[in-house]
Amino acid sequence: MAETIKVLIPEKDVDERIEALGKKISEDYAGKQIHMICVLKGGVFFMCELAKRISVPVSLDFMCVSSYGDATSSSGVVRIAKDLDESIEGKEVLIVEDIIDSGRTLAYLIEVLKKRNPKSVHLCTLLDKPERREKEVQVDYVGFEIPDEFVVGYGLDYAQKYRNLPYIGVVEGLE
Ligand code: IMP
Ligand code: MG
């Protein structure tokens, strides 16, 4: 059977939710500057949309971490494929991620970043699958909690495909 995509969260709902998150984050960080750290590649679509809706000053940096594993689950072993360009010392860091699944990637990343003496570290994720959690992670801002299904779109991929879908979908017909 060929792969097909079923819409789980339509584009309009994603846009509205990001708008609300941007407003809340802007209120919470009033008078401060946010250093947004995008977790590549998945977080990039969300980060761009979110950053445009934040009204306090922001600076951006990117990190690429990959967890060794098969296509649809992470092994818990995390490798930094691309580190940040700038120091985060004394900065108000906001990590922007596409999805928290087992929590292993972010638990590791937060630990690494905290050692670099930022002023604060908070976490914003577009999607959260709380049922799948293996490592506890404090998630400060969540777009949507979703059930345990493999999703694509808005940065999320299946075998590097579907990142550019402007909505969140579920892949059906996987072998
Ligand atoms: P964790 O370490 O298990 O929390 O996995 C985090 C990473 O696994 C995410 O940043 C995604 O890249 C990937 N991932 C987890 N669930 C999904 C999914 O449903 N679709 C696409 N990628 C996913
Ligand atoms: Mg990711």
How much is the pTM? 0.94
State the catalytic residue, choosing from 13, 101, 148, 157.
Answer: 101
The DSSP bridge partners found for residue 142 are: 125
pLDDT (average), residues 48-76 = 84
pLDDT of residue 26: 98
Give me the amino acid identity at 23.
Answer: K
Q: Which of 68, 100, 101 to mutate to test the pocket of ligand 1 (most atoms within 8 A of CB)?
A: 101
Inform me whether the pLDDT recorded for 72 exceeds 80.
Answer: no
| Beta-strand relationship, 168-172 and 92-100 | unpaired
pLDDT of residue 67: 72
pLDDT (average), residues 87-109 = 95
Which positions ≥6 away from 37 have C-beta within 8 Å? 60, 61, 62, 63, 84, 88, 93, 94, 95, 96, 113
Q: Percent of the chain having pLDDT more than 70? A: 93
Residue 139 binned pLDDT confidence (cut-offs 50, 70, 90): very high
- Ligand 1 binding residues, C-beta < 6 A: 42, 67, 74, 97-105, 150-152, 156
Task: Give phi and psi for 104, each to the nearest 5.
Answer: -65, -45
pLDDT of residue 78: 82
Q: How far is the CA of 82 from the centre of ligand 1 (A)?
A: 18
Of 81, 140, 88, residue with least CA distance to 118: 88
Q: Which of 45, 98, 158 to mutate to test the pocket of ligand 1 (most atoms within 8 A of CB)?
A: 98
**Average confidence score pLDDT of the chain:** 93
Q: In whole angstroms, what is the distance from residue 159 CA to residue 3 CA?
A: 12
Q: How far is the CA of 146 from the centre of ligand 1 (A)?
A: 12
Closest ligand 1 atom to residue 107 Cα is 2
Residue 157 a catalytic site member: no
pLDDT of residue 92: 98
